[in-house]
Amino acid sequence: MHTVVVGTSGTTAADVIAVARGNARIELSDEALGALARARGIVDALAAKPEPVYGVSTGFGALATRHINHDLRAQLQRNIVRSHAAGMGPRVEREVVRALMFLRLKTVASGHTGVRPEVAQTMADVLNAGITPVVHEYGSLGCSGDLAPLSHCALTLMGEGDAEGPDGAVRPAGELLAEAGIAPVELKEKEGLALLNGTDGMLGMLCMAIADLKKLYTSADITAALSLEALLGTEKVLAPELHAIRPHPGQGDSAANMLAVLQGSGLTGHHQDDSPRVQDAYSVRCAPQVAGAGRDTVTHAELVASRELASAVDNPVVLPDGRVESNGNFHGAPVAYVLDFLAIAAADLGSIAERRTDRLLDKNRSHGLPPFLADDAGVDSGLMIAQYTQAALVSEMKRLAVPASADSIPSSAMQEDHVSMGWSAARKLRTAVDNLTRIVAIELYAATRAIELRAEHHLTPAPASRAAIDAARAAGVQGPGPDRFLAPDLAAADAFVRSGALVEAVEAVTGPLA
C-alpha cells in the first residue's frame, strides 16, 4: 500500500488524492513530531501564565472576553468540539471526509498549532484504520475554517458521535476506536480549537475537482473532435499557427488534442460538398478557445491549491519565535473564489458540448445525418430525449455557476461578520463536475453514432476516432439501430468517460494528450 509521509512543509494534491481515494497509509515524520513537541512546549508555557491567550485560556469567537481557569480548560476544549459538531443534512462522501482529516493533520503537523504529538498520531491512526467520521452537508460558512465538518471529525477522535467503519457500517465512534486499538484523545489547552480551524474541507474538494476536471477537459477535446468529424467540419481551424497568434496555453493544448484525434480522418474537409458553408458553427470552430479558457482556469486553481497546501491555517498560530498570535488566515476567500471560477468554466464547457450535440440531431444543420440520428425517423425518436437530458444537466450547471463566494452571512454575534462560503462553493462544484461528466458522455454517445452513420457514404473516421468508438462499443455503449431503452446506454457512456477509458483508447493511437 502507498504510504504518505506528513512533514512540516505542507503536502501535495497527489498525496491528498492518495489518502482520500486510494486509502494510502499515513506516517508522521520525525521532523513533524519534533515540531509538534516544540510548539506544544510554547503553549504549555503560556497556559501556565495568568495573562489570557485566545484559544488557550479564553472562550471562543464572541465569547473570547471570558478568561477560563485551569480547572475548566479541558472541559472548554471538549465543549467547543461538541457544540460545534452541529452539522445537518445528508452525509458527506467518504473521500471528502478523508481529505478533510488528512489536511487538518497536515496543518497540525506543521508545528504552528500547539497540538501534542499524540493527538496528531491519533489522527493518523484513525485514517489508517479506515474509520471515517460522519460529516453532514451543512454547517460550514468557510470562515474560521470548515467548523462543523471538522468538529464532527474531532468528535470521533474523542470517541464520541458516529463514524463509518472500514466495512462501511455506521456505528458509535467509541466502539470503532476500541476495535482498532485506538485510545480516544483527552484534549488539552488550544487543541479543540486547533482541530476545527481550517479550510481543509473546501481545499480537499478543490484538489479532487482539479484532478477530475483535468481528465474531463481531455475527454471533452476528444468528443469535440468526434463531433467535428461527424458534422463533416474542417480541421484547418486547429492549425498550430492559428493558435500561436493568440497564445493562451490551454487553447493551444485543446487545439493540439483535437488535431491529434482527427489525424488521418476521411470525414473532415467535406464541408463544401453537399451544403456549402464558409465556416463551421462557433460550437465546433471555437471549441479550443472555450475548452482552453477552462484549462487555464484549472491551471490557476492549481496554483491557489498549491499555496494553500503549503499553508498552516489556524487561529491563533504558534510562531517560531515563541509568539502565539491571532490572525485571519482561516478565511476561505482564496479557495472559494477558484472553486466558483471552476464551476463557471465547467458550466460553459457543458454548454458548448450540448450545442454540438443538438447540431448533430437537427437534420437542418447536421449536413446529411438523419433526424435525431434515428433509424427510421418518425417511427423512431432516436436521441431526441438524450439531448433533453443533456440540456437539463446544462441548465443545472448554469445555476451551479452562480458564485457562492459573493454571499456572506454574519455569525457569532457579529464577531465573524464576513465569511467566504467556500464550503458551499466546493459542494456545488462537486455536483457540477459530476454533471459535466454526464454531458460529455452524451456528446460522445451522439457523435460516435453519427460517425458510424456516415459509413453509408464510405467516409471513414480517423484511427483515433475508430479506437474510441470500438472501445465504447466494447464497454456496452451501443451503436446505431432502432429505438431501445436508452438509459442503460447513457449510463454505460457515463461510466466509460468517468473511468478514463475514453482517453486511454484514444491515447493508444495518438500518444499522450494534454
**In terms of domains, do 297 and 191 share one?**
no
329 lies in a domain? no
55 lies in a domain? yes
* CA 477/CA 474 separation, integer angstroms: 7
Domain span at residue 486 reads 209-311+347-510
Residue 69's pLDDT is what?
84
* CA 89/CA 84 separation, integer angstroms: 15
Last-in-domain residue among 143, 168, 198:
198
304 lies in a domain? yes
291 lies in a domain? yes
268 lies in a domain? yes
22 lies in a domain? yes
Q: Which three cell numbers stand for residue 397?
A: 450547471
**In terms of domains, do 453 and 492 share one?**
yes
**In terms of domains, do 181 and 264 share one?**
no
Domain CATH number, residue 156: 1.10.275.10
3-state secondary structure of 164: strand
- Write the CA distances from 501 to 103, 143, 242, 494, integer angstroms: 30, 39, 30, 11
Residue 483's pLDDT is what?
98
The gap between the terminal CA atoms of the chain, to the nearest Å, is: 29
Are the C-beta atoms of residues 483 and 370 closer than 8 Å to each other? no
Q: Which DSSP string do the residues of 226-239 spell out, in sequence order?
A: HHHHHTT--GGGG-
Residues near 108 by Cβ (< 8 Å), separated by ≥ 6?
A: 36, 115, 119, 120, 123, 194, 195
**In terms of domains, do 367 and 492 share one?**
yes
**In terms of domains, do 190 and 215 share one?**
no
Give residue for cell 460517425. 451
* CA 157/CA 387 separation, integer angstroms: 48
Determine which helix (DSSP H) or strand (DSSP E) holds 508, and give its type and residue range: helix 501-510
48 lies in a domain? yes
- Tell me 378's DSSP state: T
**In terms of domains, do 159 and 224 share one?**
no
**In terms of domains, do 224 and 81 share one?**
no
Q: Which DSSP string do the residues of 66-99 spell out, in sequence order?
A: SB--GGGHHHHHHHHHHHH---EEEEPPHHHHHH
Strand partners for 67: 58
**In terms of domains, do 125 and 50 share one?**
yes
CA torsion, ordered 435, 439, 444, 447, to nearest 10 deg: 180
Count Cβ atoms below 10 Å from residue 75 Cβ, excluding itself: 11
**In terms of domains, do 241 and 108 share one?**
no
Which among 54, 217, 282, 388 is annotated as catalytic?
54
Mean pLDDT by 10 residues, the chain (514 residues): 92 98 98 96 88 78 79 89 97 98 97 97 98 97 93 98 98 98 96 94 98 98 98 96 98 98 92 68 98 98 98 93 92 97 98 98 95 97 98 98 96 90 98 98 98 89 98 97 98 98 98 98
Residues near 439 by Cβ (< 8 Å), separated by ≥ 6?
A: 350, 353, 354, 390, 393, 394, 397
Last-in-domain residue among 157, 176, 198:
198
Residue 405's pLDDT is what?
97
330 lies in a domain? no
Q: Return the beta strands (E) in 300-385 as ranges.
A: 317-318, 324-325
- What are the φ/ψ torsions at residue 137 (nearest 5 degrees)? -60, -40
Last-in-domain residue among 134, 167, 198:
198
**In terms of domains, do 300 and 166 share one?**
no
Domain CATH number, residue 426: 1.20.200.10
pTM over 0.85: yes
Quote the number of domains for the chain.
2
Residue 456's pLDDT is what?
80
Q: Residue 353's closest CA among 261, 438, 283, 431? A: 283
**In terms of domains, do 471 and 438 share one?**
yes
Residue 274's pLDDT is what?
57
Residues near 426 by Cβ (< 8 Å), separated by ≥ 6?
A: 201, 202, 205, 206, 209, 335, 339
CA neighbours closer than 13 Å in the CB half-sphere of residue 493: 27
Using the Cα atoms of residue 256, residue 257, residue 263 and residue 269 in order, give the sign of their dihedral: negative
Per-residue exposure over 470-492, b if at least 16 CB sit within 10 Å of its own CB, e if not: ebbeebebbebeeeeebeebbeb
Decide: residue 262, CB within 10 A, 0-12 exposed, 13-18 middle, 19+ buried. Answer: buried
* CA 406/CA 336 separation, integer angstroms: 9
Catalytic residue status for 54? yes
Q: Residue 391's closest CA among 365, 431, 339, 356? A: 356
**In terms of domains, do 262 and 137 share one?**
no
